[in-house]
Amino acid sequence: MSWTIGLLALLTGLIAGGVFAFVGVPIPAPPELPGVLGIVGIFLGYQLVQYADVGVDLLDMLGI
């Protein structure tokens, strides 16, 4: 991922969050920092397992 894409995504999120707050509707994300950190943790855990190149094919295990 390039820094440009990351910064554009952050800017888009800031604008969308501002619009949600301006029109008074709840955001479609955890409104508290612990919830956001939980999402970051999920992302980092996923990336760590991908980097370690470990895992199982659950659909194959189930025969699907």
pTM: 0.62
Does the pLDDT of residue 23 top 80, yes or no?
yes
Q: What integer best gives the mean pLDDT of the chain?
A: 90
C-alpha to C-alpha distance for 60 and 57, rounded to whole angstroms = 5
Q: Which helix (H) or strand (E) holds 19?
A: helix 3-23
Q: What percent of the chain has pLDDT over 90?
A: 53
What are the domain boundaries of the chain? 3-62
Over 80: is that where the pLDDT of 1 sits? Answer: no
Helix (H, G, I), strand (E, B) or coil at 59: helix
